[in-house]
Amino acid sequence: MTASAPPVSDAEPPRIVLSTINARFIHASLGLRCLLANLDRHGRPGLRAQTVLREFTLAQKPVQMAEQLLALKPQVIGLGVYIWNAVPSLQLVRLLKALAPEIRIVLGGPEVSHEVDQQEICRLADHVVTGWGDVSFARLCRALLDGPPPLMKVIAGEQPPLAELTLPYAEYSPRDLAERLLYVEASRGCPYRCEFCLSALDKTAWPFELQTFLAELGALWDRGARHFKFVDRTFNLRIDQASGILQFFLDRMRLPDGSLPERSEVFVHFELVPDKLPDELKALIVQFPEGSLQFEVGIQSFNPEVQQAISRRQDNQRTADNLRWLLSNSRAHVHADLIFGLPGETLESFAAGFDRLHALGPHEIQLGLLKRLRGAPIARHTESAGMVYDSEPPYALLRNACVDFETVQRFGRMARYWDLVANAGRFAQALQLLLAGPSAFAAFMQWSDWLWQRTGKTHEFAQEALVDFLFEHLVQVRQLPEAEVLQALLNDYLASGARGKPRCLAQPLQAADLARGQGVAGAARAERQARHVSQAQSTKQAVRQAAAAS
């Protein structure tokens, strides 16, 4: 059910169902809400009221999705297809076509917007809308329901001036507002041409009219929304627009006396172009309270030759200066991305880039493996750079002329362990010991290779097991003083609030308990307080992590 339109009544089943499979429940589909919001305006009055939204997650089975969709007995099912749901979406469409071939299946979304004729899912569907769907889906539905029937199977999505679109934010339900990360967009497209990225095809960016957008944001705020992720590819492209948005949030966070709080329940996530941070933006950024602002800063590679090969324009010096500024002057959580496997990037040059980035001290470094997205211009390097990709989504690189399969696999494990040990933020002190030396990358790779040999797994590590493995590695392999290692692990473990019993910390934990002199009642009180604080923080923590996932 949505705030803007009444639900379809029991007596009158929906004629259209819009559906997609989100990565997780916390991610609400903005794309489908855009389609919903424009049905009346660009289809015909009354279409919105004949439509319902059904979102699934990757944890659900396609057969159950099919059951739920078919129970609605619609005439048209529109399905949003993305790289993360390409496989279950194909299974779902197969089931729907086998069970109810009379239902018109319309596909849309980035995964089916390119290489249409090479995809089984597109062959099975009745229609595929490529690119933007806001206007074209509405028109197609009108034609499917009222006639005359459309002649074309594949329809190039029309991109109207943004002012002609109805914004989708009233389509967020009260439950979306309370429990999910709200995606919002102040602009579409990107003027840059980084060849690994689908937005490279846009060639330019178009802003939504600022006051109209802020009015919608204000309405969301008034309904209680506090967690926002901007999907703008380049938030700081237009400084006047970015300033207006930052000012919007600052104004709403102010206390009655006009000051800003030290901490805030508000959470806003933006993607930044790293080499563009004028003073006007800095002056606003510094005012944001702790925990309220998160920036995703795409670095991808610090190697100028690689940047040139993939047409990425980036001033490395200015990027480093801006990151340093953000980390030392603002309270924003900074999350920086690197991509492994770009054409011309060797393990050594990637390591140098990682070390350079790590030295700047971002809160998180996201280590991604290159993927060949359908339609992305990087395909032009496939032969010349010896790129071999997995043929299954997400089409990850398997090897290229610079890195062999074994190295790619090593990197994949390292990235996974990096998430567990570094990005999870539970080993601040132990990480310093682990990464010490001339190259943080080499040090972490050594630990990663060791942990893989020792355990043969990359998942299902309890925190306590990681503590014991870190102890073993730091003392036996790195030969660090046992007392120093234990102290670091103990401090990290206590700070994390975990309550288990890592073997290596059995004695120190007992001693710490005694030293704190906590009686049974004191310990129980402390635990209750900890539980209370952690419940209050958990929603925001989940939102922060979901926003950082990319």
91, two tokens: 């299974």
CB of 63 to ligand B12, least distance (A): 20
User: Which of 180, 226 has the CB closer to ligand B12?
Assistant: 180
Half-sphere exposure of 263 (CA within 13 A, CB side): 4
87 counts as binding ligand B12 under rule CB under 6 A: no
- Is-contact 50 8, C-beta < 8 A? yes
106 counts as binding ligand B12 under rule CB under 6 A: yes
Which of 101-109, 234-242, 294-302, 478-486 is the region at the interface with ligand B12 (rule: CB under 6 A)?
Answer: 101-109
Nearest residue to the partner ligand B12, using Cβ: 108
Residue 9 DSSP class: P
CB of 185 to ligand SF4, least distance (A): 13
Which of 48, 227, 233, 358 is close enough to bind ligand SF4 by CB under 6 A? 233
CB of 449 to ligand B12, least distance (A): 23
Residue labelled with tokens 């009260």: 174
Which of 50, 89, 187, 199 is close enough to bind ligand B12 by CB under 6 A? 199
Assign 367 to helix, strand or coil.
strand
Taking residues 184 to 203 in sequence order and writing x for each that binds ligand SF4 by CB under 6 A, - otherwise, the string is: ------x-x-x--x-xx---
Residue labelled with tokens 């600022």: 210
CA 10 to chain centre: 36
CB of 395 to ligand SF4, least distance (A): 16
CB of 35 to ligand B12, least distance (A): 6
Question: Is 98 exposed, middle or buried, given 0-12, 13-18 or 19+ CB atoms closer than 10 A?
Answer: exposed
In which element (H, E) is residue 396 found? none
- At 412, the amino acid letter reads G
CB of 85 to ligand B12, least distance (A): 8
508, two tokens: 């120190």
Peptide bond into 7 cis (omega under 30): no
CB of 83 to ligand B12, least distance (A): 4
109 counts as binding ligand B12 under rule CB under 6 A: yes
Core vs surface per residue 487-519: b (16+ CB within 10 A) or e: ebbbbbbeeeeeeeebebbeebbeeeeeeeeee
541 counts as binding ligand B12 under rule CB under 6 A: no
Q: Which does 109 bind (CB under 5 to 8 A by kind): ligand SF4, ligand B12, none?
A: ligand B12
If phi > 0 it is left, if psi is from -120 to 50 it is alpha, else beta; for residue 405 that is: alpha
CA 66 to chain centre: 27
130 counts as binding ligand B12 under rule CB under 6 A: no
274 counts as binding ligand SF4 under rule CB under 6 A: no
User: Which of 143, 396 has the CB closer to ligand SF4?
Assistant: 396
Q: Which does 39 bind (CB under 5 to 8 A by kind): ligand SF4, ligand B12, none?
A: none
CA gap 333, 540 in Å, rounded: 13
- Is-contact 372 387, C-beta < 8 A? yes
- Is-contact 489 447, C-beta < 8 A? no
# chain residues binding ligand SF4, by CB under 6 A: 9
CB of 343 to ligand SF4, least distance (A): 15
Q: Which does 295 bind (CB under 5 to 8 A by kind): ligand SF4, ligand B12, none?
A: none
52, two tokens: 């319902």
Residues 13-52 interacting with ligand SF4 (rule: CB under 6 A):
none
Assign 368 to helix, strand or coil.
strand
233 counts as binding ligand B12 under rule CB under 6 A: yes
Separation in Å, CA 46 to CA 33, 38, 43, 138: 16, 11, 9, 11
# chain residues binding ligand B12, by CB under 6 A: 40
User: Which of 82, 267 has the CB closer to ligand B12?
Assistant: 82
Q: Which does 22 bind (CB under 5 to 8 A by kind): ligand B12, ligand SF4, none?
A: ligand B12
Residues 20-49 interacting with ligand B12 (rule: CB under 6 A):
22-23, 27, 29-32, 34-35
Return phi, psi of residue 167, to 5°: -75, 150
**Site for ligand SF4, rule CB under 6 A:** 190, 192, 194, 197, 199-200, 233-234, 298
**Site for ligand B12, rule CB under 6 A:** 22-23, 27, 29-32, 34-35, 78-80, 82-84, 106-111, 129, 132-134, 137, 183, 185, 197-199, 231, 233, 368, 371, 373-374, 394, 549-550
